[in-house]
Amino acid sequence: KDKSKEIEELLDVVSTNETYFFRNERQFDALKDVCIPEIVKKKKDKNLRIWSAGCSTGEEPYTIAICVMEARSILLGWNISIIATDIAPSVLEFAKIGRYTGRRIEKVPPEILKKYFTQMPDNPEVYEAKDELKKLVSFSYLNLFKNPYPENVDIIFCRNVMIYFDRARQKELIAHFYKVLNPWGYLFIGHSETLHALSDDFQYVKIMDSPVYVPKEKVNGI
């Protein structure tokens, strides 16, 4: 059995860390109220590409999709792609089905739950993401250290993923993100994570009380 397969299976087990909708919700406020409007102002081609790297069971990319839907008045005529990737096939299958219950959805405001989810008639505790959300998100397998990354990305979410890697791997990951992120882009990482001493390519900025990183050359334009 090859080593990388074993590592993938191990990650499959350990990386089912706690995840739920609107985790660190201020980051999603920043996304909806600042980052998306800023990109709309700066971008000419009307394509918005957001990557959820290490998307786990789908709560993060679907929350991103909700933010996009809520900002859609400024996104008329835009093509929206939310690319959601993970190394664990089991979580990707779960995410594609898009059914959630209990703690996973307890932070979803009732009006948002009603608007974007369908309560399952045979099991009223379970809510399924509506097709309008599912259509925005494409789920696929991606090994961050082996496979090519999505390119020309405007926003990257990679939250609570780096903790699984050593420093050298973390540096490699961030360098790759820098290459594929547009100059006006944003990188969201976990609240307890930092790029300090990992990369000189990104600048830390605070947007609506949320830690966000932007490519260095963009900073003066904020």
Burial class from Cβ neighbours inside 10 Å (0-12, 13-18, 19+) for residue 77 reads exposed
- What is the rounded CA–CA span in Å between residue 75 and residue 53? 23
What is the secondary structure of 100-160 as a DSSP string?
A: E-GGGGTTS-HHHHHHHEEEETTEEEEEEE-HHHHTTEEEEE--TTTSPPP-SEEEEEE-S
- What is the rounded CA–CA span in Å between residue 62 and residue 127? 13
Q: For residues 141-159, give the mean pLDDT.
A: 97
Using only C-alpha atoms, the chain has a radius of gyration, in whole angstroms, of 17
β-sheet with 210-215: strand ranges across = 137-141, 79-86, 47-53, 153-158, 181-189, 210-215, 202-207
Q: Which pLDDT score is estimated for 209?
A: 87
Q: Return mean pLDDT, the chain.
A: 90
Q: Is residue 12 pLDDT above 80, yes or no? A: no
Percent of the chain surpassing pLDDT 70: 90
Q: Is residue 163 pLDDT above 90, yes or no? A: no
Reported confidence tier of residue 221, pLDDT bands at 50, 70, 90 = very low
pLDDT tens digits, one per residue of 63-120: 999 999 999 999 999 999 999 999 999 999 999 999 999 889 999 999 999 999 999 9
Q: Which pLDDT score is estimated for 11?
A: 54
Q: For residues 20-34, give the mean pLDDT.
A: 91
Q: Which pLDDT score is estimated for 18?
A: 63
For 3-97+131-221, CATH number?
3.40.50.150
CA distances from 163 to 65, 118, 192 (A): 25, 34, 10
In one-letter notation, the amino acid at residue 34 is V
Kind and range of the H or E run holding 9: helix 3-14
pTM: 0.89
Q: Is residue 155 pLDDT above 90, yes or no? A: yes
* Short-list 168, 176, 167, CA closest to 143: 176
* Short-list 148, 133, 125, 195, CA closest to 53: 148
Domain ranges of the chain: 3-97+131-221
Percent of the chain surpassing pLDDT 90: 75
* Short-list 187, 141, 186, 144, CA closest to 164: 144
- What is the rounded CA–CA span in Å between residue 89 and residue 57? 10
Q: Which pLDDT score is estimated for 197?
A: 83
CA dihedral 58, 61, 62, 63 (to 10 degrees): 120
CA distances from 124 to 6, 9, 108 (A): 38, 33, 16
**5/55: higher pLDDT:** 55
Of 8-12, 160-164, 195-199, the poorest mean pLDDT is in 8-12
